[in-house]
Amino acid sequence: MIGAIAIGLAAGIVAGLLGVGGGVLFVPGLVILLGLDQHQAEATSLLAIVPVAIVGTYTQDRYGHVRRADALLLGVLSLAGAAAGVVLANALSGAILRDAFAVLMMLVAAQLVRRALSEQRLENPGADGLD
């Protein structure tokens, strides 16, 4: 129970702060702390993210940050993708799903680092000592 509380609080804080957190924290937390297998963790994460998304979206909308037309388009189009993803996930082993999730997280991290370094170069030209 304590593990579930920790996962929920951490995911909620990160989701509200950064717009991510559901799958990024729920899936590893459910596997590591609660002992779920990869399929169970991913399926549980999908349901658990619903209230997080609702509260986060409502709060962000109050600040005027939600682009509703874009959100609606993404939501509608992602329905087909989610259905296809579930079919694919059920056809794969837990080990392959785990590895695919890890690769996805590494790609996201690499993209974030690349973007941060690019922004840093734009803000501080010449700070790299090459001039």
pLDDT in tens, 17-59: 876 766 788 888 899 999 999 999 989 988 888 887 888 889 9
131 within domain boundaries: no
Burial of 15 (0-12, 13-18, 19+ CB in 10 A): buried
Instruction: Give residue 104's domain range.
Output: 2-123
114 within domain boundaries: yes
pLDDT in tens, 59-111: 999 999 999 999 999 999 999 999 999 999 999 999 999 999 899 989 988 99
If one counts the domains in the chain, the total is: 1
